[in-house]
A and B are shown apart, each in its own frame.
Chain A
């Protein structure tokens, strides 16, 4: 059974992209994510990936269609359901700076889901925070720092740690590793793979990097102008077949520099 699903989900913004039948950012999207499955979502900038992520995380409601968690539509949820949902589905946002309160320390930021969603406080919480910081390769003394005292990649890792603090069943990663250097990206993917193996955690991995999708995901979805246009299974190397998928795959940068004309 699918853990999280969209059924014909659409989203229309007042100032949304023109020329798609009004201002449709997301156009009747249906997808299923099974427990322990890792799904990559690819597509050009502005095609609707983050919009879909917000709908799936219950942060915005679809204007048509629905999002279902464990077989139930989010629109039927009561307070207790939402709490369980927040615990189960976590989203790591594309932009870490606007995803945190600038006046809270790293420790406070990570303590929040521990307290609200898992009822952990005091020493138990501190122990967890330290373990989470270690998992994302940040020093324990980062706990006392404010967001602006961290580098871009360090803050992104704080956001990953905060999402993991809820011990989610499904993690939506919206370009969540794209600000990290490659060693850290691979380290994060290994951590996610371990959680997937040990706890059947599922992932929706929104990325521009097909090389990482190939390494980490079971299935790839390609989105174009608010619609899903391709679904391909991944077993190591994969070839996308839709025109949009092909265009993305063809744009992978070469590994090595080539000789270029220098300025005169």
Chain B
């Protein structure tokens, strides 16, 4: 992914997602456009239920049953792509609920060897890649963990394993949905530093969903704020923190700063 022809830009355009409730169509994601650039992190923030996870999933045609994508396209470097083709290959994903992302009857080794991380690589180099990514993600006891089933692992261990599998895929883009919610602050800091390094040094392009404005401050270059299915403000991270324009953004920020006594909103 460091080669000169590695993609520079992933654009989600005019994404619309709806469901049917009591026989009526309900819009869940409304005309959302996002621009994820190589070497940068775009944070997608907003209240619980506003449509962040559906945006990530539906743009890759991986929306859960019961919802449908009504509009929208995804393009890489200006060329429209079939979402299913790029999922896992050009776009790695980290899902919000790590435990449900793993098959309960398979060990971590089986996940490592059979997932998208494995595509196209011979077995030995696959395992090497996953081992290196596990160490990067802070999983030290690699031999033990590869033999474990999901139920034998803590929430944070599973989350780190999912991060490792995503990184081992070598995809140039990463959609990370709340990737550090189950992690202690020390591991969280390490993972955020790792993602920062991968964006800066290897040109990884990250779409980061998070509700923690501290995580946004630490990693994001740009921020898109979502409310009730729509993007209401997109700006550089400094501007979001220092000059928020939309009331929803200001609210997010005030709540965040209230956790840091002695600080008031800018």
* Interface residue tally on B, bucketed by range: 35 or more
> Hey, which chain B residues are within 8 Å of A182, CB to CB?
211-213, 252, 255-256, 259
The answer to whether A251 and B188 touch (CB under 8 A), given A50-B154, A94-B182, A257-B218, is yes
B47 beta carbon closer than 8 Å to chain A: yes
The answer to whether A183 and B97 touch (CB under 8 A), given A257-B241, A263-B203, is no
The answer to whether A97 and B99 touch (CB under 8 A), given A45-B187, A182-B259, A211-B259, is yes
Contact of A152 among B53, B183, B215, B220 (CB under 8 A): B53
A15 beta carbon closer than 8 Å to chain B: yes
> Hey, which chain A residues are within 8 Å of B154, CB to CB?
45-46, 49-50
Query: Which residue from chain A places its CB closest to the CB of B47 in the assembled complex?
Result: A181
> Given the complex of chains A and B, what is the CA–CA distance between A43 and B155 in angstroms?
13
Closest CB-CB distance, B242 to chain A, in whole Å? 8
**CB-based contact A154/B48 at 8 Å:** yes
The answer to whether A45 and B184 touch (CB under 8 A), given A95-B155, A98-B100, is yes
> Hey, which chain A residues are within 8 Å of B155, CB to CB?
45, 50, 94-95, 175
**CB-based contact A15/B99 at 8 Å:** no
Closest CB-CB distance, A39 to chain B, in whole Å? 18
> Given the complex of chains A and B, what is the CA–CA distance between A20 and B257 in angstroms?
40
**CB-based contact A178/B181 at 8 Å:** yes
> Given the complex of chains A and B, what is the CA–CA distance between A253 and B210 in angstroms?
14
**CB-based contact A255/B217 at 8 Å:** yes
> Given the complex of chains A and B, what is the CA–CA distance between A141 and B238 in angstroms?
39
B200 beta carbon closer than 8 Å to chain A: yes
> Given the complex of chains A and B, what is the CA–CA distance between A44 and B188 in angstroms?
10
> Given the complex of chains A and B, what is the CA–CA distance between A13 and B100 in angstroms?
22
A17 beta carbon closer than 8 Å to chain B: yes
Query: Which residue from chain A places its CB closest to the CB of B21 in the assembled complex?
Result: A141
Q: Per-residue 0/1 for A173-196: is the Cβ within 8 Å of any B Cβ (1 yes, 0 no)?
A: 001001111111010000000000
**CB-based contact A44/B186 at 8 Å:** yes
> Hey, which chain B residues are within 8 Å of A254, CB to CB?
214, 217-218
Count CB-based A-B contacts (< 8 Å).
Answer: 165
Query: Which residue from chain B places its CB closest to the CB of A44 in the assembled complex?
Result: B184
A252 beta carbon closer than 8 Å to chain B: yes
Q: Per-residue 0/1 for A8-19: is the Cβ within 8 Å of any B Cβ (1 yes, 0 no)?
A: 000001010110
Q: Per-residue 0/1 for B84-103: is the Cβ within 8 Å of any A Cβ (1 yes, 0 no)?
A: 00000000000011111000
Contact of B217 among A94, A97, A253 (CB under 8 A): A253
**CB-based contact B96/A46 at 8 Å:** no
A260 beta carbon closer than 8 Å to chain B: yes
Contact of B49 among A153, A186, A237 (CB under 8 A): A153
A79 beta carbon closer than 8 Å to chain B: no
A76 beta carbon closer than 8 Å to chain B: no
> Hey, which chain B residues are within 8 Å of A150, CB to CB?
49
Beta-carbon contacts under 8 Å, A79-104 to B: 94-98
> Given the complex of chains A and B, what is the CA–CA distance between A178 and B38 in angstroms?
29
B176 beta carbon closer than 8 Å to chain A: no
Q: Per-residue 0/1 for B117-146: is the Cβ within 8 Å of any A Cβ (1 yes, 0 no)?
A: 000000000000000000000000100100
**CB-based contact B49/A151 at 8 Å:** yes
Beta-carbon contacts under 8 Å, B188-219 to A: 188-189, 192, 196, 199-200, 203, 211-218
Contact of A15 among B147, B199, B260 (CB under 8 A): B147
**CB-based contact B187/A151 at 8 Å:** no
> Hey, which chain A residues are within 8 Å of B49, CB to CB?
150-151, 153-154
B64 beta carbon closer than 8 Å to chain A: yes
Beta-carbon contacts under 8 Å, A214-245 to B: 215, 237
> Hey, which chain A residues are within 8 Å of B181, CB to CB?
175, 178-179
> Given the complex of chains A and B, what is the CA–CA distance between A203 and B132 in angstroms?
40
B23 beta carbon closer than 8 Å to chain A: no
**CB-based contact A181/B46 at 8 Å:** yes
> Can you list 21 A-B pairs with a CB-CB distance of less than 8 A?
A46-B154, A97-B100, A151-B52, A153-B211, A181-B46, A182-B252, A183-B255, A184-B47, A186-B255, A208-B185, A237-B261, A251-B184, A251-B185, A254-B218, A255-B263, A256-B217, A257-B218, A257-B241, A263-B39, A263-B199, A263-B200
Nearest first, the 10 closest Cβ-Cβ pairs linking A and B are A45-B156, A263-B39, A153-B48, A253-B214, A251-B185, A181-B211, A97-B100, A257-B217, A95-B99, A182-B255
